[in-house]
Amino acid sequence: MEEFIEKGLYSNPERTELQKEFYKRNPGHETMFREHLQNKYGGAWTYNEIIGYIQLHFLGSQIRGEYWGQAAKKIIRTRKKSFEWKTHKLAPELEIPRGSSNSKIYEIILNYLSHCQKELKGRYIDETHIRAIGPYVDWNSLRRNA
């Protein structure tokens, strides 16, 4: 997106210095044009380019990831996405040993996601949020209530 915005702001290589000077004198114009280009690209939402997601489930003593993908033959940039169920398990389930600690369960979940990454060649699994909250989750309690 940043690359797209920069190309839009300075579209004519011969006039880049003039455009930079103009934006320096008129910062409001630059801000307004940046926002316009950002909206044209698809907006500021972090997950505009999402093409699927993995829904994690505890099945007894196992962890499984159900995969949902974009319901389109050709993946294009759009805000009107529809997802469809693709498979009940993206990678083989991993066993959670009896009496595992919360940190051990979290480690198994991350391991499972790395197995999923191998199944989704050429795709990126964003683990940002699970890595941020995972160490603080009471996985054993979550498993019992699942």
Q: What is the full per-residue pLDDT of the chain (146 aa) written as tens digits?
A: 788 888 899 888 888 899 999 999 999 999 999 989 888 877 766 666 788 999 999 999 999 999 998 887 777 766 677 889 999 999 999 999 999 999 999 999 999 999 999 999 888 999 999 999 999 999 999 998 87
Position 18, amino acid: L
Query: Is 104 domain-assigned?
Result: yes
DSSP 3-state assignment of 52? Answer: strand
Query: Is 61 domain-assigned?
Result: yes
pTM over 0.95: no
**Is the CB of residue 34 less than 8 Å from the CB of residue 7?**
no
Instruction: Identify whether residues 81 and 23 lie together within a single domain.
Output: no
Counted domains in the chain = 2
- Alpha carbon separation from 9 to 30, 33, 44, 77 (Å, rounded): 8, 7, 17, 21
Query: Is 101 domain-assigned?
Result: yes
- Alpha carbon separation from 51 to 61, 70, 108 (Å, rounded): 29, 5, 25
Query: Is 30 domain-assigned?
Result: yes
Query: Is 46 domain-assigned?
Result: no
For 58, the domain range is: 52-145
Query: Is 47 domain-assigned?
Result: no
